[in-house]
Structure 1
């Protein structure tokens, strides 16, 4: 039970990203799960981590 509670407060690593949807460019800090979800939902979007630039 302690591990379950501990995992609730664990902070996931975030990455600075540039998201381009064809019209607007957005700068966000996203977790890897969020990046993967956006890539699956929006195939035409370009998502680039700051480290990859």
Structure 2
């Protein structure tokens, strides 16, 4: 029970990213889970994402 409550307040690490969706470039802070979703989901097939530290 205590671990579940503790996980609610646990902050996930975010990464500064540049996202290009084919029309607009956006600068966002995303978690690794969100980055993986954009890279692997078919509805984001034309999107490119680059972490700031990879630039």
TM over 0.5: yes
For 1:6-45, what aligned pairs fall within 5 Å after superposition? Answer: 6-41=6-41, 42-45=44-47
Aligned length: 53
Q: Please list every run of 5 or more consecutive structure 2 residues that lacks an aligned counterpart in the other structure.
A: none
Output the aligned Cα RMSD. Answer: 0.7
Match of 1:50 in 2: 52
Structure 1 runs of 4+ with >4 Å offset: none
TM-score norm. by structure 2 comes to: 0.90
